[in-house]
Amino acid sequence: MSKLYGSVEAGGTKFVCAVGDDDFQVLEKTQFPTTTPYETIERTVEFFKRYEDRLAGIAIGSFGPIDIDKNSPTYGYVTSTPKEHWANVDLLGLIAKEFNVPFYFTTDVNSSAYGEMMVRKNVSSLVYYTIGTGIGAGAIQNGEFIGGLGHTEAGHVYVPRHPRDYSNEFYGSCPFHKGCLEGLAAGPSLEARTGIRGELIEQNSDVWDIQAYYIAQAAVQATLLYRPQVIVFGGGVMGQAHMLKRVRDKFTALLNGYLPTPPVEEYIVTPAVPENGSATLGNLSLAKDLSNN
Ligand code: ZN
């Protein structure tokens, strides 16, 4: 029987577990809410146990911050997350001790970035942002993840505030920073400003323009710092069809022709992998690479 590979997309809201074959065809996929570490990890282990005799590797893409330094005593841990019960949890260790296969451990957004790179021809430098209940980004340069002491945390960069946010004295909803990208532009910021849940806010509300202004700043930063070939914006907020055009327009205005980039419709895009499958695809490939090394 051919080998199988495992993917764990460990999100702050839900876990998505999948097994796939050599061609990254998904044989089975399941998801469940992220509850306590004990319960969530137990369900993850249970899912993969049924495939144990054929599994050749498992990749975990996790919400963070996480420790990805293999020489660190807390390698594989979720570290300083404000998510209840999950700070300082040995996510990788608690799963890996149940299996006799190699594991790859990275951020959920790195997994998504990897999946998005795989489906694009001649792309080896890419940045993937998720704009949802939180904001994170995975960055790949020449086929390798960017990071030094740890993974990057591009969701928590400080961004200049929109004039209307100044007048509201709104500093964002991040418990760590006053005025970071995630606090000002992730889903919860919409409700914090308006008192209305994001999906119920009218399309002509100027709150969308405020949010697009911050997301466009992220695209400018990614452009200036990494010079990627493409910037992918995923996540629930970008599922609103009108957002992409707003972000492209504001990006063009903010960069102001300073650097050449590909045409904005090709450069700033939403995911090419359908059905939120970017991270699963990326993980299956990372898991396969492990078992080939
Ligand atoms: Zn922050």
Amino acid present at 44: T
Task: Give me the pLDDT at residue 280, please.
Answer: 98
Q: How many angstroms does the Cα of residue 2 sit away from the middle of ligand 1?
A: 44
Q: How many angstroms does the Cα of residue 136 sit away from the middle of ligand 1?
A: 10
- Residue span of the structural domain in which 76 resides: 4-108
Task: Give me the pLDDT at residue 199, please.
Answer: 84
Q: Are residues 212 and 192 in the same domain?
A: yes
CA distances from 32 to 63, 152, 228, 235, 280 (A): 15, 27, 34, 18, 15
Q: Are residues 68 and 129 in the same domain?
A: no
Listed residue (140, 228, 153, 221) closest to 183, CA to CA: 153
Tell which of 108, 129, 163 closes a domain.
108
Q: Are residues 13 and 76 in the same domain?
A: yes
Q: Are 28 and 77 in contact (CB under 8 A)?
A: no
Q: How many angstroms does the Cα of residue 154 sit away from the middle of ligand 1?
A: 9
Task: Give me the pLDDT at residue 160, please.
Answer: 94
Q: How many angstroms does the Cα of residue 12 sit away from the middle of ligand 1?
A: 15
Q: Are residues 35 and 139 in the same domain?
A: no
Which CATH number characterizes residue 142's domain?
3.30.420.40
CB atoms within 10 A of CB 131: 28
Q: How many angstroms does the Cα of residue 119 sit away from the middle of ligand 1?
A: 31
Give the residue carrying structure tokens 């970017």. Answer: 278
Angle at 240 between CA 32 and CA 264, to 5 degrees: 120
Q: How many angstroms does the Cα of residue 182 sit away from the middle of ligand 1?
A: 6
Q: Are residues 132 and 63 in the same domain?
A: no
pTM: 0.95
Tell which of 65, 80, 108 closes a domain.
108
Q: Are residues 93 and 218 in the same domain?
A: no
Q: Where are the beta strands (DSSP E) in the chain?
A: 4-10, 14-20, 26-33, 55-62, 103-107, 126-131, 135-141, 144-145, 230-234, 268-269
Q: Are residues 15 and 143 in the same domain?
A: no
Q: Residue 4 and residue 235: Cα distance in Å, rounded?
A: 28
Q: How many angstroms does the Cα of residue 287 sit away from the middle of ligand 1?
A: 31
Q: Are residues 131 and 21 in the same domain?
A: no
Q: Residue 145 and residue 151: Cα distance in Å, rounded?
A: 8
What are the helix (H) ranges across 26-173? 37-49, 91-96, 108-118, 163-168
Q: Are 194 and 164 in contact (CB under 8 A)?
A: no
Q: Are residues 79 and 164 in the same domain?
A: no
Q: How many angstroms does the Cα of residue 150 sit away from the middle of ligand 1?
A: 17
Task: Give me the pLDDT at residue 238, please.
Answer: 86
Torsion angle, alpha carbons of 70, 39, 108, 30, to 10: 130
Task: Give me the pLDDT at residue 293, please.
Answer: 65
Q: Are residues 262 and 127 in the same domain?
A: yes
Q: Are residues 130 and 97 in the same domain?
A: no
Q: Are residues 98 and 184 in the same domain?
A: no
Task: Give me the pLDDT at residue 228, please.
Answer: 98
Q: For the chain (length 293 residues), average pLDDT per consecutive 10?
A: 94 96 97 97 98 97 94 95 92 98 97 98 97 94 90 94 82 91 93 88 90 97 97 90 94 97 97 96 96 72
Listed residue (113, 83, 130, 110) closest to 237, CA to CA: 130
DSSP letter, residue 1? -
Tell which of 54, 77, 108 closes a domain.
108
Counting the structural domains of the chain, the total is 2
Task: Give me the pLDDT at residue 170, please.
Answer: 86
Q: Residue 74 and residue 62: Cα distance in Å, rounded?
A: 15
